[in-house]
Structure 1
Amino acid sequence: MLSRENASRKPGTSGERVGKQRLKFDKNGKEIGRRERLTIEKKQANPEDGIRLNKYIANSGICSRREADTYISTGLVTVNGKIVNEMGYKVKLEDDVRFDGRRINPEPLTYILLNKPKGFATTDSNAKGMTVMDLVANATTARIKPFGRLGRNATGLLLFTNDDAFVQKFTKKGIPRLFHIELDKNLKAEHLKKIKDGFTADGKEIFVEEISYVDNAPKSEVGLKIKHTGNSIIRTIFEGLGYDVVRVDCVTLGPLTKKDLPRGRWRPLTEKELNFFSMI
């Protein structure tokens, strides 16, 4: 509480002004010391706290935030399978947010092509040691994942994207991939014909697009084009016929090739390449 004496002091008297810093000067009139700045600390947004649902929807490009509020209130938006109509509800980037039944993504659609070297697991799990995610860590801030698989010791083209519609489409249809495969021994002509004609392995029908010996190479090296996003299918084909697979290299993926992409390097897809995928 202020005393009567302090309360009666006027500006300019010997009493200190509340909230002001007393300044000192030397004999030449130069200020001594430094003025203290009053700073207001702003609380930074923590991504782990999530973002408001209407902003998430607006960032996906569907509508404005105000329009998103209307859609939320009418029950058109679900989060992880449940209708959310609470204003101000917060979601995280990994949540499954759907607008009118269609999953939406607040990030720009991103497509990265990697020429994978040996020794990297095709997974986004940190429990698998060195993974392909380590190789594309600086490619984008979007939450991309590998589409399709290559074994840890396989090499070649691998695609990454955050486009769920793209993944669903080509998981169902498959993408033609051409592999250069080296076996532990020469592939018999009768076995090459059997693979070309199609056969059953582990109770499943196996069909390939093309298979042939590699030009100017031993008969233990073959080119195999198959419309499949998995990796184990290659070993299923050859090991079922008595061959060990020594080396696997994916040399084309749909319309994409390894041209000008050294091993271990990545690049984003061009608009022209994305248009090619729409024709597959």
Structure 2
Amino acid sequence: MTENKSKSKLIRLNKFISSSGICSRREADLHISIGNVSVNGKIVTKMGLKVSIDDDVRFDGSIVRPQKKIYILVNKPKGWSVRSSEGRGRSILKLLSKFSFSNIESYGNHGRDSSGLLLLSNDHILQSKFSNPKAIIKCLFHVKLDRPLKPKHFDELSNGLNLKGQLIKIPEISYVEGSKKDEVGLQLNSFDIQLIKNFFIELKYKIRSLDCVTIGPLTKKDLPRGKWKHLSKIELSQLMML
């Protein structure tokens, strides 16, 4: 650890590693305890050590450099992939080409056939929040079907549908006003597009379009299709409070 640095410029080693996007703080503690981390050429296993930006911190022999936290909200067009590995065509990667995607994760399982809000970040705290099965992050989806949704199927979705032996309910469902009952709004307690697809596969409907309208407090207001923005401090604060 660099000794001539003021305390205000020192941060805990686990936070230093986490801010690089390698892993979470808790995971960093584990790696420190088993000797995977060195500071200025010396293996460190002590918890609570503080380091500065000038220290040579290495993880499995590779130098660690903190990254600025990035929080990006995209209004994804249908037909665009989230990752370039999903095949040819337009990709969110190209839209956000100025950023490094080595440590940025997308939240939700958007495929080419879906559209709407997509959240990306390199913040492991946020990643843990979204991956926690007990977390409640209300998301609203607009689904258009190949034919009107029958009242009995509407009730099944509302009261609970058996999927692979598990009774799953949609917290809120409604017909879209002005539609021919072939469009519905669904609110889930998580960002799970595949679950929506499974619902309608089970009921033998085809989805014509599936659009994410809100993710928690985040909306598409002032965010046209195919555009992106950084989250504001207020939006980020509201998201972290979920």
TM-score (norm 2): 0.73
Per-residue CA distance 1:160-191 (angstroms, 9 max, x = gap)? 00011111112211521111100111001111
Instruction: Tell me how far apart the structure 1 counterparts of residues 192 and 223 of structure 2 sit (CA, whole Å).
Output: 23
Q: 1:150 aligns with which of 92, 110, 121?
A: 110
Contact map agreement 1:80 1:96 (CA 8 A) in 2: no
Gaps of 5+ in 1: 1-52, 55-60, 69-74, 98-104
Q: Does 1:237 align with 2:203?
A: no
TM-score (norm 1): 0.64
Within a 5 Å distance, the mapping from 1:227-266 to structure 2 comes to 227-266=189-228
Per-residue CA distance 1:101-138 (angstroms, 9 max, x = gap)? xxxx8112211000001222233x54633432222223
What is the letter of the counterpart of residue 268 of structure 1? H
Instruction: Tell me how far apart the structure 1 counterparts of residues 183 and 78 of structure 2 sit (CA, whole Å).
Output: 19
Q: 2:40 aligns with which of 83, 87, 90?
A: 87
Evaluate the alpha carbon distance shift between residue 212 and residue 127 of structure 1 in structure 2; reply closer, same or farther with a 3 A threshold. Answer: closer
Q: 1:213 aligns with which of 164, 175, 191?
A: 175
Within a 5 Å distance, the mapping from 1:56-75 to structure 2 comes to 63=11
Evaluate the alpha carbon distance shift between residue 181 and residue 128 of structure 1 in structure 2; reply closer, same or farther with a 3 A threshold. Answer: same
What does residue 163 of structure 1 align with?
123
What does residue 37 of structure 1 align with?
none
Instruction: Tell me how far apart the structure 1 counterparts of residues 189 and 100 of structure 2 sit (CA, whole Å).
Output: 30
Gaps of 5+ in 2: 3-8, 17-27, 42-55
What does residue 78 of structure 1 align with?
31
Name the count of aligned residue pairs. Answer: 204
Per-residue CA distance 1:13-39 (angstroms, 9 max, x = gap)? xxxxxxxxxxxxxxxxxxxxxxxxxxx
Evaluate the alpha carbon distance shift between residue 164 and residue 86 of structure 1 in structure 2; reply closer, same or farther with a 3 A threshold. Answer: closer
What is the letter of the counterpart of residue 74 of structure 2? L
Higher relative contact order, chain-length normalized (CA < 8 Å, sep 6+): 2
Q: Provide the alpha-carbon RMSD of the alignment.
A: 3.2
Contact map agreement 2:74 2:228 (CA 8 A) in 1: yes
Q: 2:143 aligns with which of 175, 181, 185?
A: 181
SS in 1 for 2:79: coil
Instruction: Tell me how far apart the structure 1 counterparts of residues 94 and 217 of structure 2 sit (CA, whole Å).
Output: 25
SS in 2 for 1:78: helix
Contact map agreement 2:175 2:185 (CA 8 A) in 1: yes
Instruction: Tell me how far apart the structure 2 counterparts of residues 182 and 159 of structure 1 sit (CA, whole Å).
Output: 22
Contact map agreement 1:210 1:225 (CA 8 A) in 2: yes
Evaluate the alpha carbon distance shift between residue 106 and residue 86 of structure 1 in structure 2; reply closer, same or farther with a 3 A threshold. Answer: closer
Contact map agreement 2:191 2:215 (CA 8 A) in 1: no
Per-residue CA distance 1:82-119 (angstroms, 9 max, x = gap)? 53346337647xx798xxxxxxx811221100000122
Evaluate the alpha carbon distance shift between residue 241 and residue 159 of structure 1 in structure 2; reply closer, same or farther with a 3 A threshold. Answer: same
Q: Give, in angstroms, the shift of residue 141 of structure 1.
A: 5.0
Instruction: Tell me how far apart the structure 1 counterparts of residues 182 and 169 of structure 2 sit (CA, whole Å).
Output: 21
What does residue 78 of structure 2 align with?
118
Q: Give, in angstroms, the shift of residue 159 of structure 1.
A: 0.2
What is the letter of the counterpart of residue 160 of structure 1? L
Contact map agreement 2:76 2:118 (CA 8 A) in 1: yes
What does residue 157 of structure 2 align with?
195
